[in-house]
Amino acid sequence: MAAHQQRRPSSIRLARALAWIGIGIGAVELLAPRRTARALGIPGSAHLLQAFGAREIAVGVGILESRDPRPWVLGRVAGDTLDAATLLVALSRKQRRTGTAMLALATVAAAAALDLICAETLRTDNRPGDLPDYSDRSGFPRGVDAMRGAARAAHERRGAPQLAAAS
């Protein structure tokens, strides 16, 4: 990995993946609302689906562009709640496409679970007190003072010629 690249925590990578998925779903809802509504068994909801699509895209862009994506991920959770409520209304009407709506509801529930997991890991990843403090450690097995001159002493014990003094 190049020195200028920084490895992202898995919670940030998950948030970015969820953002791209949301943007993709939002594009479908925004560009093909009637077909999507018909497939879900909620005909006549094209304008509602377009609004949901715009919300998905806005939240996705917010996650991608924000320094702290957690509030935007929580926005996804709120959106998942709206999506689930809409699908539950569709299921209560006992439309022909009940199976598709059930599948969509299960997908929304899985997305909500991932969003909640992501929001929680983003919260815990950003707590400054959670990082271990190694400022009192030198990296030497016996400490800096004990190691000072140890290489020279070991070299002399083996009977090797004298090392030149550092200038």
pLDDT at 4: 38
122 contacts 73 by C-beta, under 8 angstroms: yes
Neighbours of 136 (CB within 10 A): 5
- Delimit the domains of the chain by residue range: 10-126
Tokens of residue 34, six digits: 């009637």
pTM here? 0.68
Nearest CA to 55 among 36, 27, 17, 87?
27
Tokens of residue 151, six digits: 């290489």
Distance CA 105, CA 86 (A): 9
- The answer to whether residue 144 scores a pLDDT higher than 60 is yes
pLDDT at 1: 39
Nearest CA to 21 among 83, 78, 69, 64?
64
Tokens of residue 166, six digits: 């550092």
- The answer to whether residue 143 scores a pLDDT higher than 50 is yes
pLDDT in tens, 28-81: 999 999 998 888 878 788 999 999 999 999 999 999 999 889 999 999 999 999
pLDDT in tens, 93-107: 766 667 888 888 999
Neighbours of 81 (CB within 10 A): 12
pLDDT at 11: 87
pLDDT at 6: 43
Is pLDDT larger for residue 1 or for residue 156? 156
